[in-house]
Amino acid sequence: MATKNMSSEGSIKRKKLQKIGVFTSGGDSPGMNAAIRAVTRAALANKLKVVGIRRGYQGMIEGDFINLKSSDVSGILQLGGTMLKTARSAEFRTAEGREKAFQQLKKADIDAVVVIGGDGSFTGALVMSQEYDISFVGIPGTIDNDMYGTDYTIGYDTALNTVVEAVDKIKDTARSHGRIFFVEVMGREAGLLALTSGIACGAEVILIPEAKGDFNSLKKFLDKGYRNKETSGIVMVAEGDEAGGALKIAEDVRKSHPDLDVRVSILGHIQRGGSPTAKDRVNATKMGVAAIEALLDDQKSIMIGLDNEKIVHVPFNKAVKLNHTIDTNLLDIQKLLNI
């Protein structure tokens, strides 16, 4: 997309950083509030004014802004969700929508913005920073942990523990009734949550988008169950699996193995909620402080990441365009242990 001319009427003039905005965008994840708290207090500690932008990019377009003081972010560290709310915005995808958003930022004298979200949120920030002279710094917040350039995204650890707790309970009833449960977890394009939770729960089979066509493990498990009359078990399925998700796979198994007692549990949005774990709170705090330090250092269009527990800066154009890879060798470990 072509960059607009930087006229005095169409851009924020370069000046000393005085006021920043912060907002959350896309799907919520536990730890976002901890990041908002860290961004706000780190900015205030550096004599910056802070504006909270409610409801993501849509709130930016509508000027839904609130001034944030230290007391406004007190008591939110342990809360799931996001105090600033979040929303999708079709209007922001248009040049006219981004023009409205920029004018609202300009009207509020906001010099730079911290965006907490995933690759879609960062794509919007990248496009807007190319069109207008305003700095965006991103903090990765998504339970999928699928962002390129960072080992960790806010909310992943909490979601992982939520899934493990739920599946541990499902296993109790699976054993009691001799059932096979197909458990679907979030991860439309990334299977890390299904993979790690499946290993943590001792799942017999794990089906993820990154291992396409890997149904031999499911067939072996079903055949083994028939031979040994051990028909209870857990099959973890990422919602984006090519076979159509847990409901479709389970229906196919019912048809091919009518003697098995097959059930489906779709964990859904419980994975996004809940009080963030200590790990999510600490990492969100580190990233929030690092975002303010990056803005004070005149950084622009970067994501704050963690690489071996160290803060790193990842350009938006890499974070949103390059693919995050997972260690599929973990699948081999899982299969080895399910002998």
Please give the positions annotated as active site. Answer: 144
- Residue at token pair 């071996």: 308
Nearest to 116 by CA among 28, 18, 224, 214: 28
Residue with tokens 């250092």: 297
The pair of structure tokens assigned to 239 is 């919602």
- The residue among 334, 48, 307 whose CA lies nearest residue 204 is 334
Distance CA 226, CA 62 (A): 60
- Closest by CA to 89, choosing from 125, 113, 130, is 125
Q: Report the alpha-carbon distance of residue 221 to residue 257 in Å, rounded.
A: 12
Helix (H, G, I), strand (E, B) or coil at 24: strand
d(CA 182, CA 235): 5
Report helix, strand or coil for 214: coil
